[in-house]
Structure 1
């Protein structure tokens, strides 16, 4: 791993942590909105706990609420995580065209499946994430095909 890659990973991880904290903080607003608990406390309800009091709400539900109604920091958090994943894949598979193409294809499929999960959301955040996952998934699949079919073998070197 080069110094440039390491520096990119450190900076991206720092921003990811900052965006995660901001998302969690913005999502804590759900504790003050009991009428929204029925629709935005999926993780709390998964544990068979009825959110009757604010202290019962799972911290993960803060992220769900923020993604639905205040999508700026959740979007930046997902963008930073995506960049970190792609950079990690590049570092691991840069020497093998087939493995890198397969990695990008798998990431594209993951993005497209995530698009299907949020596709019926009536909120602005859901629509933003749907567009992001759809575009990112298509770009990753097309990138995998281009990487596999257009990358000259034997000429792949690190700059």
Structure 2
């Protein structure tokens, strides 16, 4: 029961931070509606749905986040960090007794973050470069933590066999 009281405040603060940063990033990204020369490069989701974008009415809300991440990355970065914190916190809360599953969870999360970093590897925008480094660093931390948990689990199991 005490674990829940540690989990809920952390999850609540991270969720509020995620909500605030999401709204702020969406607002900042709405500047794409007034930037038609950037529609070709910053609207991948709208282009999947409509093809070439002819008017601002065709731009999907999801593309606002792409534009914000490329040119005003502060709030998208806060979104990413708070989302990662929530993912890791939730995974730890539910899998803390199942060390092997938590190790797999962190490994999968790290692999996904490395995959995301691949998509922004050669980004010419400052926001894309920042996102690349955040995803690589976060993927590395998740992977290293998973490896450490794995060896800690092996060490614990080998000590139980000896005793």
Confirm or deny a common fold (TM above 0.5).
Answer: yes
2:110 aligned residue (108, 111, 114): 108
Identify which range, 61-70 or 41-50, moves more after superposition.
41-50
TM-score, structure 2 normalization: 0.90
Q: Is residue 133 of structure 2 the alignment partner of residue 131 of structure 1?
A: yes
1:2-151 matches, cutoff 5 A: 2-151=4-153
1:153 CA drift (Å): 3.7
Q: Please give the alpha-carbon distance, in whole angstroms, between the structure 2 residues aligned to 1:15 and 1:147.
A: 28
Q: Please give the alpha-carbon distance, in whole angstroms, between the structure 1 residues aligned to 2:43 and 2:16.
A: 28
TM-score, structure 1 normalization: 0.92
- 5+ unaligned residues in a row in structure 2: which ranges? 158-163
Which 4+ runs in 1 deviate beyond 6 A?
A: none
Identify which range, 40-49 or 67-76, moves more after superposition.
40-49
Q: Please give the alpha-carbon distance, in whole angstroms, between the structure 2 residues aligned to 1:66 and 1:94.
A: 36
* Structure with the bigger percentage of helix: 2
The one-character-per-residue Cα deviations of 1:105-132 (angstroms, maximum 9, x if unpaired) are: 1111011011111112110011001111
Q: Quote the RMSD (CA, aligned, Å).
A: 1.3
Q: Please give the alpha-carbon distance, in whole angstroms, between the structure 2 residues aligned to 1:144 and 1:44.
A: 37
1:49 CA drift (Å): 4.0
Q: Please give the alpha-carbon distance, in whole angstroms, between the structure 2 residues aligned to 1:89 and 1:113.
A: 20
Q: Pick the structure with greater CA Rg.
A: 2
Say whether the 8 Å CA contact 2:50–2:58 is kept in structure 1: no
1:7 CA drift (Å): 1.2
1:8 CA drift (Å): 0.9
